[in-house]
Amino acid sequence: MDLIRIIFSVIIPPLGVFLTVGLGGQFWLNILLTLLGYIPGLIHAIWIIAKK
């Protein structure tokens, strides 16, 4: 399941975070990071998935 989340995170970083933690603070932080730049959002998403 983590592999699918990481693939979704590469395509759309907030989607991978949403599938992992739902609509929480980490999700909104990831949307903000993705809007500021794709790479920070991607790194944050993979970190969240790996941490869980």
Domain ranges of the chain: 2-6+20-51
Note the pLDDT tens digit of each residue in 4-24: 999 999 999 999 999 999 999
Q: Which residues contact 10 (CB under 8 A, 6 or more apart)?
A: 42
Q: Which residues contact 29 (CB under 8 A, 6 or more apart)?
A: 44
Q: Name the CA radius of gyration of the chain, rounded.
A: 9
Q: Exposure of 46 by Cβ count < 10 A (0-12 exposed, 13-18 middle, 19+ buried)?
A: middle
Predicted TM-score (pTM) above 0.85: yes
Note the pLDDT tens digit of each residue in 28-51: 999 999 999 999 999 999 999 999
